[in-house]
């Protein structure tokens, strides 16, 4: 069985966590800002850990931190990763 795709933060993106637990990303190349809710901040910070940078690992961790079932967590994680990839906030990790 093949491993799920893994991702890492784009090094051209700056992150600031705000006092209320939300966050802001700035893509230095495109000059676009992105607002993150608390779940988005959780995903962004979790991507720093090598063991947490695949969709299944993030979904599992999400269920441990937030009150959400694994199916919902998996769908939500896939959606946020797809959006972050489309906006070039993340880059795939080569196997």
> Half-sphere exposure of residue 94, counting CA atoms within 13 Å on the CB side?
0
| pTM: predicted TM-score of the whole model, two decimal places | 0.87
Neighbours of 75 (CB within 10 A): 12
Domain hosting 33: range is 7-88
Neighbours of 88 (CB within 10 A): 14
In this predicted structure, the answer to whether residue 14 has a pLDDT above a threshold of 70 is: yes
Tell me what the mean pLDDT of segment 16-22 comes to: 97
What is the per-residue pLDDT for 4? 82
Tell me what the mean pLDDT of segment 1-21 comes to: 91
Q: Quick: pLDDT tens for 42-91.
A: 999 999 876 678 999 999 999 999 999 999 999 999 999 999 999 999 99
* Residue 2 placed within a domain: no
* Residue 94 placed within a domain: no
DSSP sequence for 7-48: EEE-TTEEEEE-TTS-EEEEETTT--EEEE-HHHHHHHHHTT
Q: In what order do the strands lie in the sheet with 23-27?
A: 13-17, 23-27, 33-36
Give the count of domains, the chain: 1
What is the per-residue pLDDT for 1? 59
């Amino acid at each position: 069985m093949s491993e799920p795709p893994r991702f890492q933060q784009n090094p051209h993106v700056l992150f600031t966590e705000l006092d209320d637990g939300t966050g802001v990303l700035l893509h230095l190349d495109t000059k676009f800002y992105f607002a993150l809710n608390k779940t988005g901040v959780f995903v962004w910070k979790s991507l720093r850990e090598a063991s947490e940078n695949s969709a299944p690992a993030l979904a599992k961790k999400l269920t441990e931190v937030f009150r959400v079932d694994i199916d919902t967590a998996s769908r939500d994680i896939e959606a946020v990763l797809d959006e972050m990839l489309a906006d070039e906030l993340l880059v795939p990790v080569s196997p």
